[in-house]
Structure 1
């Protein structure tokens, strides 16, 4: 079984501790790991004596993890001593001795780790914790409570602070890791590990360094967020250009992750991500035992606040009126002044749960000596985890309410101290649902607005660059718009009325972010746009119709337009314009920036008088599709891999990359396989894919993996023909990062049509194109048709040394020779 390259760091089987100070590691180290741990103590200022062999390390094998806490000037000698053990991971902790040359120490550690192919935390690391394994490989004196959330921080001080807070409020962790200097082991590597870690259900990240690669970061965080909630706190926004902060915001939305702005919100996210129920919107009903707490909560529903005040159904209000005492409030907030009882709390919550206009409930309780909050909190602890919508509570106060909050935290239904923090927590859950919808979006398999003339457009740009131009001439800019069928007309005819403020001009502009590529913005144009630049909304290319619509409606400019300002046909043109401009900057990497300002409505058309397009020779030497769209952080849907597929009997199918909306079709395909076919593919009698498997197969990051499907239009029962999956080929990168494991399955009724050969040939081409060194699969020894196919494709058929019933069928992917 493959080990992930970070397994030696996160779950070491053998451990070496080198320190001249006592470390917390031995306070909770379980006996199983202790037996494979070698402790080497040093006197202050002296190099310790290292043993010839280490516990748990067999002759000829490598040590999993070395933890070093020694004075900086002694590190070089320590590294020379431990090099013979060949550690696969290394933690270099901060030492109390002042380092006279920190840069030298960073170079020393980084160079040594790279030379020895070793994962590295440090130097000056706070280390990591794995509470469920009893591993405290950090400088924090206490091992955190075991939980299902992972904490990843680029700051040792933030990690120390969160661990201290978590101990007080009983929040547990699956892992807590402080990265420090990311010279070797980087944030994307850790996210890749945590995405597949069975002990981790959610991930919280603190970032304060510049990202080394926006593409690698997006690739890793999208993979993680497709299967687990991810929340990110990033420092330094005040010191960054507004454009960079907008790009980071847009990137996290498209990754399906949630960004928080304040340290306290990170704690809120850690608490509420334990909730199994996710709201589908931000509409909140507030239930309180006083008007003031309710008002404080609903103040968070102000413009662009984390919540929206729900409008209760008339039926709900009538039922509440019968239930509550005279003088109570029933129209949201729901406020009662009578002593709280278990039955009353349950009935009110149930009524609010049943209201279709409510996405979740905030419970706001202030101290009241007439109410038995122990019994009320017990009722909440039982009701909330089973509720169909999130129930987030706030028990205001400290001395009397703190034990109650802790009891609810321990029961898995987190309680908050202030109305604002509870409302923010709900907003985090709502933002997660919103961003998950964005994560699912992808471009159509084929252009819906006419095939763009990409080669003609790029030739036009190259001609302009050849003349030494940094900006396209107006005629060339308009020609480029026509190459991509952008629905925009020139505002230059004498019969057109002059512009005025009543036109409420809009603007669209694109700028290239260093980390995340083309960032598209929509907002006010003309003078209005120059005076209010922050009213624009932003997103990353590529866009589709859904993403364009969401972006427009996020902008403050749109929210303040008069109702019906854009007639429906014109609004559709606006969305098409954004989609096609997204295609333009995706397929023409020479375009550095683009601005269309002003854009006005004239009748049933969008018109402008000015298009400015900046170009550069430094981008776009290669076809972006072949170059993997290196100028972008989100790989567009690879339309070039879509091809027609003759299936015989006058049937024509399609071979194409899989899409998120194929999940149900894929599940139907798996369910329709015979038991023998399922066993041959999955080596089990499983009848369907789990939700996590479905997500993993259909949420594909084309930058580093691929799933291809063969589809055909088939009728089911008496229904209309619809696209049906008849074959699947898929590869996932192995934990070593160099190779991939493939999977191939063809529907029982579709074998013998050459589908397997076509799918695997395309898959092998793609794996080679993406720089993989090998591709392999485990095939049952008695699966003769599969073994025969793979051998004909040039693969090597080797026995599996660990299982005689399996064969390892693999191929070395040497670069294609042209």
Structure 2
């Protein structure tokens, strides 16, 4: 298996540590690294001299990792001396005395990274830890406890505080990383590594700032597709809850499938719940308590607009609870008993609530009760919860007698909290994760609604307006632009009266398309008229939208909950959904759009009417058309419809080549299962019989900017549906951008039955054309040396065939995609 580029940083085979005497990173190396490590003490004011040979580094070889805790002139000296050892990775720790010019240190590290092909973490990093190997390359003298959660922080203080808290709470981590000033290695690259790290089950991130929204979105989508990601971010949202940019950032996280928590204390709660292996399938929560007060506190932060809502029990559940609890106990959610709890009551109650299909999870809120053996009651929970099909969380209020019981629950993986509010918010993290995962699965359909938009005509109109030195379209130009995208919205002049127009309680709607300076275009839906999408009625989504995402955007708005939900006709609602989808198409194809405001919008029985439309445009900063430049004006790359191609085999049988989609997970699994052992080994260099769930997600839930997967499909009869045709995957080709940003690594596999039909050649040519369109300089692959069929195909396509310097059983085949590319 090829080694990840960041493996030199997180799992080094050789280490050099340079810094003052007593540096923790030099004193706490794990046994496996001690013989492969070199430590150089560099005292302030002394020159930095490195030995000519280093432990664990063969002559002419590269050092895996250097760790440096120096500043100013000494840092410069150390980097100069390091050139001879060509480290693959470098950690620049915060020195004992702060640098007088941090910006200069950052620039120095950035230059070193670029000139020496080195991944640099820092400067001003507190370092990193990998607990399963005992690796502590940080300034902390304490190694975190082993665990399955990774912590990544842009703040040194947050990094230190979470580690200190975790020691007291007996919580462990797989990896902890302090990012420092991010001269070379950024959050996105660390997330890429952790997404494939088998030691990490979930990721907690603290963000101070976002440098590249596309890179962050892409990395978050990749990581969150295979494991939960929770983000705590400070900044504008905390100081100004009505911040538009902050609302757009929240939309970005939703679409990436990650979850945001607004407060520092909730990050701790999120870390605890992420350890739970059971995820809720929805947001309906059952509450159980031995008193009336705690569930009321939990209900105060539930509601239709909140992440979780109280479940409505089925009649059979209510009957079962009535039989299990004392007379006059409250058996409708929340369930409240005032009798002394016993283990059997707890067992019956849990069983009834777990069996209810209307319940997605259970929150148990218990206060101390001197009449009951609370330890035995909690022990009953510990025997049932790990086997339960739904998540169970607990709030054990109190301290002296309840703290040991919380530890009892924590030890078996049941998240427990001190307060109802903390427990409810923690459940909200899991519910939001499930909801956001649903959003992240959404892609545009392979074909647009009804008919293709007239993109060429729309671009001509925009170009003409800009050529005339104007930035605002006239009403007639707005009507033409909307017609090119088939937007089902009748535009009226501001003073027009339309016979038969029926207002919905005289409450108008409004849609705005705006552009955030960092996150790109967004679509804003809410109340209109004089309120003009007020900050309190803001529902925001990032394009591209499909029908599901358009509905979710509307249903998150306050105007929907207050009015439209109850009075809007189904036909008008369907029309509104289509308007949003087609506006999204317009945003994708026209990067010149700077602002679109449609306000007010009125709903008739069958259609929508707009009495005010404003469209503002500005010259695009893209170097090429959006489809040829990776839709660089957007945070999320749309489904590349232009790559859907129909083909025929030599015998005339049709087949389709198209980009993969999330719903291809099951067909892709069937494709892999059907491969012969030889084909499977040639592709995956292992004898796996099928893809793991994380591998399936990794291959089907992709960001089309950073990678591309093309599938070849044929139509075959489906026995389960009376022989009606269904799509079957018979070929799979994939490329992923390399860390250098210049090229990509490809992989290809064809079904045994369909080999020697030209599929491999067509799929690779499709990858090559897409890579050229995305301005990549080269494409490369690593093929087993005995895979003669694949090597022959590569030769026929013009690929170079070189030995792999690190593995003689593998050949590196590569193709320059631009004439000026040369091998280095």
The two structures have a TM-score, normalised by structure 2, of: 0.94
Structure 2 residue matching 1:271: 3-state secondary structure: helix
1:234 and 1:261 in contact (8 A); partners too: yes
Match of 1:392 in 2: 393
For the structure 1 residues 814 and 48, does the alpha-carbon distance in structure 2 shift closer, same or farther, using more than 3 Å as the test? closer
2:504 and 2:602 in contact (8 A); partners too: no
- Structure 1: 5+ residue runs without aligned partners? none
Cα shift at 1:374: 2.8
Match of 2:667 in 1: 665
Structure 2 residue matching 1:504: 3-state secondary structure: coil
Match of 1:335 in 2: 336
Alpha-carbon distance between aligned partners in 1 of 2:740 and 2:101, rounded to the nearest angstrom: 34
2:220 maps to 1:221 = yes
1:523 and 1:537 in contact (8 A); partners too: yes
CA RMSD of aligned residues (A): 2.4
* Deviation sequence 1:601-654 (CA, Å, 0-9, x none): 133110012211111124456311011111011111111111111135553222
**Range with bigger deviation, 33-42 or 659-668:** 33-42
2:796 maps to 1:792 = yes
**Range with bigger deviation, 173-182 or 740-749:** 740-749
2:712 and 2:731 in contact (8 A); partners too: yes
2:605 maps to 1:603 = yes
**Range with bigger deviation, 74-83 or 627-636:** 74-83
2:780 maps to 1:776 = yes
For the structure 1 residues 562 and 754, does the alpha-carbon distance in structure 2 shift closer, same or farther, using more than 3 Å as the test? closer
**Range with bigger deviation, 535-544 or 619-628:** 619-628
Structure 1 residue matching 2:689: 3-state secondary structure: coil
For the structure 1 residues 120 and 744, does the alpha-carbon distance in structure 2 shift closer, same or farther, using more than 3 Å as the test? closer
2:280 and 2:434 in contact (8 A); partners too: yes
* Deviation sequence 1:494-517 (CA, Å, 0-9, x none): 444799793211000010112221
Structure 2 residue matching 1:596: 3-state secondary structure: strand
Structure 2 residue matching 1:122: 3-state secondary structure: strand
Match of 2:177 in 1: 177
Cα shift at 1:386: 1.4
Alpha-carbon distance between aligned partners in 2 of 1:114 and 1:816, rounded to the nearest angstrom: 20
Alpha-carbon distance between aligned partners in 2 of 1:71 and 1:652, rounded to the nearest angstrom: 64
**Range with bigger deviation, 78-87 or 584-593:** 78-87
2:502 maps to 1:503 = no
2:672 and 2:680 in contact (8 A); partners too: yes
Match of 2:418 in 1: 417
2:603 and 2:609 in contact (8 A); partners too: yes
Match of 2:207 in 1: 207
Cα shift at 1:455: 0.6
**Range with bigger deviation, 698-707 or 104-113:** 104-113
Alpha-carbon distance between aligned partners in 2 of 1:255 and 1:793, rounded to the nearest angstrom: 36
Match of 2:66 in 1: 66
For the structure 1 residues 126 and 620, does the alpha-carbon distance in structure 2 shift closer, same or farther, using more than 3 Å as the test? closer
Match of 1:467 in 2: 468
Alpha-carbon distance between aligned partners in 2 of 1:685 and 1:17, rounded to the nearest angstrom: 40
For the structure 1 residues 735 and 601, does the alpha-carbon distance in structure 2 shift closer, same or farther, using more than 3 Å as the test? closer
Alpha-carbon distance between aligned partners in 2 of 1:684 and 1:129, rounded to the nearest angstrom: 30
Paired residues, what number?
Answer: 815
* Deviation sequence 1:273-304 (CA, Å, 0-9, x none): 11111111111111111111222222221453
**Range with bigger deviation, 770-779 or 511-520:** 770-779
1:72 and 1:95 in contact (8 A); partners too: no
Alpha-carbon distance between aligned partners in 1 of 2:10 and 2:786, rounded to the nearest angstrom: 37
Alpha-carbon distance between aligned partners in 1 of 2:786 and 2:36, rounded to the nearest angstrom: 40
Alpha-carbon distance between aligned partners in 2 of 1:471 and 1:461, rounded to the nearest angstrom: 10
Match of 1:652 in 2: 654
2:161 maps to 1:161 = yes
Cα shift at 1:370: 2.7
2:572 maps to 1:570 = yes
Structure 2 residue matching 1:721: 3-state secondary structure: strand
For the structure 1 residues 760 and 518, does the alpha-carbon distance in structure 2 shift closer, same or farther, using more than 3 Å as the test? same
Structure 1 residue matching 2:626: 3-state secondary structure: coil
The two structures have a TM-score, normalised by structure 1, of: 0.95
Alpha-carbon distance between aligned partners in 2 of 1:51 and 1:595, rounded to the nearest angstrom: 66
Alignment of 1:494-573 (within 5 A): 494-496=497-499, 502-529=505-532, 532-561=534-563, 563-573=565-575
For the structure 1 residues 2 and 169, does the alpha-carbon distance in structure 2 shift closer, same or farther, using more than 3 Å as the test? same
